Structure 1
């Protein structure tokens, strides 16, 4: 009887320990599951010109190279006529106490333009990095991340205006390298990075590197960031590229926000500078209206070719006025947008195929973000 009793007690203890261990394991798994992050967006749009053709125009001037007259501003994304699609974006991440990762995948025309210097044109990786949080003051990140320069970003869900600025389009999209982020206190932050040449996101084909830096200040009303980039971008020039960029935005009242971006980039006399303001009014709980007013000046660039091959010539100036409404219904954002571009050269074509220096257009975009 004693042996039987002891066996029952041992079985009970083993069952209790196993049950507690299983519960603890389940709790740990549930806690770990809660650290998994999933987000993303899909976007689509309609675009039309008021004073220009709504199709691509190819004219041969006799030099055996057809001239492509842009029927959209020479800025990235939202540049196709008629009904068009943007991209599908899925972001998977894990946020641990000390370590984590982000895998940001894009697919569609906007995504292809965003990763245009990837070795494979069908590449869908927008960001891919791991990080190690040493302590509350220092975090190391290794991999590929979207640029820290500028006011606008690749994701349409994170921009107020659907079409993008010239400063964003001419500047870096992404970087691959190693960076250190610093939290000096509750308001001040910093960043130092060593990176591949800009937008070479998969590997370094030239054996040369760029250096990045950032100093940031934020409080409950807004933030300001001073950004620096220096290094040889071999696909542009053998000379080093230097860019300094100021990005800031503040809630001046409960309904009025004002953002500002100013930037200057130079590579041995080639480059650009510009500035833009972003006033935004929250007119109701679901609707806001905002303006981007941008001045952009290209330095003496011999080719003047950006993004998808649209040519504005050398040393051009551009003014961009973009008025955007933003109506939110649940996770859906509807953005009607009017845009006027004025260029210092006759780079557009009107309905009679006459050269023109300005283009007025309308975009209606729909973005679902989750």
Structure 2
């Protein structure tokens, strides 16, 4: 109830501020837009490992709210602000380093665009790395890949972006990965982020991404990531995401024959087929290997995952039945099972 009152009060206060600005008689006023989405799911594990394997779909045999999101964006001339809030288990897991009301902040940043195509931003925003997005209404599959689940999730700092035709460049500096607030008791070095993308209006996207720096546990993490989206026809598109992470051991960890660096890598292929005006079939095939057990999903081996999702859309409403199969090269998480077969039904609504 306190959270609801706080959110309602904030929106009313913001709306009042906008109205007050308009009442001053200024000839030019800003533009406020409001967007959001809600999702929920029911998951059932038919065979094998009963626990979660990737992010956000950990509840088995129960109806579960994923996330309720509300995004406010206000733009005035060359400046703007975005506040993106999320409530529910998905938002809480996304902001796992935050506590209390801060866990509801998905994104919060201000920007300044002095000339067309050049933008400076400061604040906190979702990661530029990877193919999938946090909001399930924006993905073709409801469950997440291993590549997404191993992160990063967000960056907090400053960045500059430059767009020229189909070319997009971004570079920035941020706190250690996923930390909006860095506690005084841990290392507070900075992470360098960068991106180059080539994007066409027909849906063709080629992106090269980078993130690197020392983390709060003193480990040095360097990630290279690539994304390709290719329209095959008006009804079929292909996507690919590949990522490799190099991790230098923490100060407290002993060296192994002088080799302090370990790595994990993975890749996923995405197929989307528009069957008719309301039906879409999405298939994801992923291979992820972490033989050194250094990722947040310490496999100690590799996993092959296949996911098929059918989406029925009726305006802003989408119903998503999904089947998924995961096979591990070694028993996962100390469990005797080396695989999982699961299914889920999800609903998303955008506004």
TM-score of the aligned structures, taking structure 2 as reference length: 0.84
Q: CA RMSD in A?
A: 2.2
1:36 to 32, 35, 44: 32
Aligned to 2:133: 153
Residue of 323, 329, 333 corresponding to 2:318: 333
- The separation in 2 between residues aligned to 1:50 and 1:212, in whole angstroms, is 41
Which structure: larger Rg? 1
The match for 1:107 among 87, 92, 100 is 87
Within the alignment, does 1:322 sit opposite 2:307 as a pair? yes
Rounded to whole Å, the distance in 1 between the matches of 2:197 and 2:149 is: 23
- Which of 212, 220, 237 is residue 230 of structure 1 equivalent to? 212
Task: Tell me the residue number matched to 2:18.
Answer: none
Match of 2:96 in 1: 116
Match of 1:176 in 2: 156
**Structure 1 residues 282-327: Cα deviation after superposition (integer angstroms, max 9, x where no partner):** 000111001010000114136x654xxxxx55x2201110000111
Query: Of the candidates 198, 207, 212, which is equivalent to residue 193 of structure 2?
Result: 212
Distance across 2 between alignment mates of 1:282 and 1:105:
31
User: Would you say 1:195 and 2:174 are equivalent positions?
Assistant: yes
Is the Cα contact below 8 Å between 2:150 and 2:296 reproduced in 1?
no
Q: How many residue pairs align between the two structures?
A: 314
Map 1:88-103 onto structure 2 (within 5 A): 88-103=68-83
Question: Post-superposition shift, 1:121?
Answer: 7.6
Residue 276 of structure 2 corresponds to which residue in structure 1?
284
| CA positional deviation for 1:240 | 2.0
Aligned pair in 2 of structure 1 residues 294, 217: CA closer, same or farther (>3 Å)?
same
Instruction: Work out whether 1:47 is the aligned partner of 2:39.
Output: no
Give the Cα separation in 2 of the matches to 1:226 and 1:40: 29
Residues in 2 aligned to 1:121 and 1:318: alpha-carbon distance in whole angstroms: 36
Distance 1:233 1:355 in 2: 33
> Which secondary structure state, in structure 2, belongs to the residue aligned with residue 49 of structure 1?
strand
Aligned-pair CA distance for 1:138 = 1.2
Stretches of structure 1 that go unaligned for 5 or more consecutive residues are 1-21, 53-69, 307-311
**Distance change in 2, residues 1:71/1:270 (3 Å):** farther
Confirm or deny: 8 A CA contact 1:89 1:105 kept in the other structure. Answer: yes
Whether the 8 Å CA contact 2:291–2:302 is kept in 1: the answer is no
Any idea what SS the aligned residue of 1:123 has? helix
Measured in 2, the distance between the counterparts of 1:234 and 1:348 equals 24
**1:348, CA displacement in angstroms?**
7.7
Q: 1:172-208 deviations in whole A, cap 9, x for unaligned?
A: 000000000011x211110001010000023465330
Q: Which one is further off, 93-102 or 333-342? A: 93-102
Q: Is the 8 A contact 2:168 2:196 kept in 1?
A: yes
Residue 298 (str. 1) matches residue 273 (str. 2): no
CA deviation vs aligned residue, 1:13-68 (integer Å, no higher than 9, x gap): xxxxxxxxx99948745xx3xx211111111001001114xxxxxxxxxxxxxxxx
SS state of the match for residue 111, structure 1?
Answer: helix
